Amino acid sequence: MQVLYEDNHIIIVSKRAGEIVQGDKTGDVPLSDIVAAYLKEKYSKPGNVFVGVPHRLDRPVSGVVVLAKTSKALSRLNDMFRVGSVDKRYLAIVKNKPEIPEGRLENWLVRNEKQNRSYAYDKEVPNSKQAILNYKLVASSVNYHLLEVELLTGRHHQIRCQLAKMGCPIKGDLKYGAERSNPDGSISLHAFHVTFEHPVSHEMIDVKAPLPDDPLWQSFKDKVENL
């Protein structure tokens, strides 16, 4: 865990792939508990430390996670994420180059709880939710392509599902059509950049997470410095 920003109300950290944001049935220690322990030690706090979770990243995804240190901040951040007033940018490495280098994807997603995956449709179907994102081809290497994704809705596995529907499954994402897994079990999706109005002070917060320490990600480092 790397702290990217902190004040009295919020803390923003960079999550490693493989970490869970909030506790689940695996019983693994979640990022929220790791942050609470960090705050307890840093400020020598007695008793429990409040850490609220207004949004999540999938376990195999790395990057920016915004957490609340106060209930006031959590309540307001929950509203902000729900209505889409937090600008969220992701980077995705894909094997197949998109036919159109820049565009908007609009699909209807149906979540299958048993399979823990979503299915994308071109038109509204029963139990579906609208999913919208913008994407842009940023760079290409010999074998892979780097996309910047602006997430406009927050659906289950949305980026993974919609890019796969476009014919560009994310590297390492076996669930959505990648040919092979990544050695560390990650998928090559990184929550890169968040911008939003602070829920209490109303200052603009603008935070980027460093790229994963992986040769393929690092090969694109120069290409993302100006994003």
Q: What is the CATH number of the domain that holds 136?
A: 3.30.2350.10
CA nearest neighbour of 190 among 163, 176, 170, 174: 170
98-115-55-139 Cα dihedral, nearest 10 degrees: -20
Tell me, what's the pLDDT at 103?
98
CA atoms within 13 A on the CB side of 141: 15
Q: Residue 192 phi/psi, 5° resolution? A: -90, -35
Of all residues in the chain, what percent carry a pLDDT higher than 90?
93
Report the amino acid identity of residue 152. Answer: L
Q: DSSP readout, 196-209?
A: EE-TTT--EEEEEP
- 186 vs 134: CA distance, rounded Å: 23
Question: pLDDT by residue (tens digit) across 62-96?
Answer: 999 999 999 999 999 999 999 999 999 999 999 99
Tell me, what's the pLDDT at 1?
84
Domain coverage including residue 203: 2-224
- 97 vs 148: CA distance, rounded Å: 13
pTM for the structure as a whole: 0.95
Tell me, what's the pLDDT at 227?
86
Residue 59 near residue 20, CB atoms below 8 Å: yes
Residue 163 near residue 130, CB atoms below 8 Å: no
* Annotated catalytic residue 214: no
Element of type H or E holding 131: strand 129-140
Tell me, what's the pLDDT at 105?
98
Q: Which of 28, 58, 122, 173 is catalytic?
A: 58
Of all residues in the chain, what percent carry a pLDDT higher than 70?
100
Q: What would the two tokens of residue 210 be? A: 């460093």
Tell me, what's the pLDDT at 43?
92
In this model, does residue 183 exceed pLDDT 90?
A: yes
- 102 vs 105: CA distance, rounded Å: 10
Candidate from 13-27, 43-57, 174-188 with smallest mean pLDDT: 13-27
Average pLDDT in the chain: 95
Structural domain total, the chain: 1
